[in-house]
Structure 1
Amino acid sequence: MDRRETAALLAYIGRLDPRTIRTDQGEARDQLAQWHELLGDVPMATKHGWDARVAARQHIRLSPYQILPADIGRPWESYRLDRLGRHTDPTPSVDPDDQAAWTAELVGTRRAVASGTSQPAQARAITSGRRQIDPELEARLREVGSCIPSAARAALTPYRPARAAREAAVAAGKPDALSVLCPWCQAQPGEPCSRRRVGPDGSARGNVPLATPHPSRRDLADAKQDQATPQPAMA
């Protein structure tokens, strides 16, 4: 604030607390010089919530002690630190190869936030729910069908026999056997069947993954698909 704003602040404080009023001209001049020296970098008010008169009124209302410049400066520093703590540096709009311009824009944004002339830029939170997908992108995803190209999928077939058999069955219109629990080996849905290794004492020593599901698991998947298929109404 400039000297006129500092004088206006002192006049406002004097109306609320007459103890701060200086009747001697020399004392009033010294008081104005002191307050302006200590509060010259503190604005009178900003458009984003700061007002030195509110801070002064709050102190006079709650404290029995005579107000000092520090009682205005401390709330201002808390205001600045709170805004900077909630600020996330947005990406500058200048060329990132121009280090000087990049740094200058970051510093300028932070100063504007700290001085109360602009609002803090906060990172957007992750929201729940399905996001709106661009129609062109959605059409492209339906056309591609998978993020793995068909040539790469074919090359991976020898290394993923269980998955390859599952994809071939689904492509042929057959039920996905791995979508149900295997009643033989107790493989969970989505996991391949396995061959149990039983030790002499009857305990399981290990499991060997199988490329094809057990017949009972395929039968269970067929029965589940038959139950889901609507039957034609009888005449």
Structure 2
Amino acid sequence: MVTILVTEDDAHIRRLLREHLVMEGYHVLESKDGDDALQVMERHHIDLLITDVMMPSMDGLELTRDLREAGYEFPILMITALETLDDKKRGFSSGGDDYMVKPVDMEEMLLRVAALLRRAKIASSNVLEIGNSVLNQEQLTISTGDTVVELPTKEFRLLHKLLSHPRKIFTRQQLMDEIWGYDVQSIDRTVDVHIKRLREKLSEIKDFEIITVRGLGYKAEKRGLS
């Protein structure tokens, strides 16, 4: 099931969006502003963000910029009462993928959400296959044959990030920004500790390996590749 986060300070609009999305079969999370959204994303994987632009605390433009700078790539649909061309330019320039003006036509919103997910190639099953191994984002598990390993959220997100881009090198800072970017208590050593735990837990899975690239960071490769 695709998970969508609705970030909107107006509780009535937030409820309407949620109701229509749920009726369409999506799993919906809610937040009242940008700061609240970041806390939700610390605990949950999301596939698409719908965000209002004008909100107290952290607004939608700042939220979108921060997410893009941290490496988050999921689609972002911006919703706002601002409708000038300059307003739309600011929305797209901040990293938004689509833009709707209030009052929102719910049927059109659902069409836009489906199109964004289709373009992002988000599968409703939320699974990633590497050889005989399958990562399930809903269950936070990796399985191969009869072996199923359940992982804590951050370990799963770290593994999923590496396996989603085989052979791509990620620096520790890149991984920190995406997985722990808004946890001020985190330190660089955190990445190394989580990689060590993953290697220990997945030692019996032979479809891939997590490789340390000295002086740079980490990458994942299918077994047998050089």
TM-score, normalising length: structure 1: 0.23
Higher Rg of the two aligned structures: 1
Specify which structure has the higher proportion of strand: 2
TM-score (normalizing by structure 2): 0.24
Higher RCO (CA < 8 A, seq sep 6+): 2
Q: Which has the higher helix share?
A: 1
